[in-house]
Structures are given as structure tokens and as C-alpha cells.
Amino acid sequence: MKADLIKHSKGSDPSAVAFDSVHAAKARNVDLVFIDTAGRLHTKVNLMEELKKIKRIIAREYPGAPHEILLVLDATTARMPSRRPNSFTKPLA
């Protein structure tokens, strides 16, 4: 299996990386794109707003996308892990 990695320099706008990833996938006829937004805390309003922006950009550049959003949690380190999924899914609905 071959996977290309699209990245920008440290401190770059995550939405710009998502934009470039979608465009690279379209140009290369790739039908699967993973965008990792690791390290988001649901209590940080600016980071949640950034997630919404990423979703809007992906949807604008590829109508119908994102087709799936996955939330990966580490239950050993998260506080109140049962509440956390709702904190992420509500803003991205």
C-alpha cells in the first residue's frame, strides 16, 4: 500500500493543509483522504472553530465530503471520556 503525505511547515493553517490534501487527492485520482487533527481539546473554543473551518473547506472543495468523521479517544487520559464524543460531534454536525 502506498500513501502520500501532505504537510506544511509547523504553525501553518490546518485548513490550508486540508485544502491542499483534497486538491492533491483529486489531481492524483485518489479516492481516500485522511486528515488528522490530533490534539484537539473540546474545551478550547478556537480549536473547535478551526475544526468547523476544516470541515467547511473540505465540503466546499469536494461536494458531499467529508463522507465520514472518526473520533479516536484515549480513555486512559481523557477526563469524562463518555461526554467527549458529543463535544466533538455537535459542532461538526
**Amino acid letter, residue 73:** L
CA angle 64–20–59, rounded 5-degree value = 15
What is residue 83's predicted lDDT score, i.e. its pLDDT? 59
pLDDT band at 87 (very low <50, low <70, confident <90, very high): low
What is residue 37's predicted lDDT score, i.e. its pLDDT? 83
Handedness of CA 76, 78, 80, 84 (dihedral sign): negative
Between 41 and 29, whose confidence is greater? Answer: 29
DSSP run (H or E) holding 79: none
Q: Residue 65 above 70 pLDDT? A: yes
Closest CA to 75 of 65, 85, 67, 60: 85
What is residue 46's predicted lDDT score, i.e. its pLDDT? 84
Q: Residue 80 above 70 pLDDT? A: no
**Amino acid letter, residue 43:** T
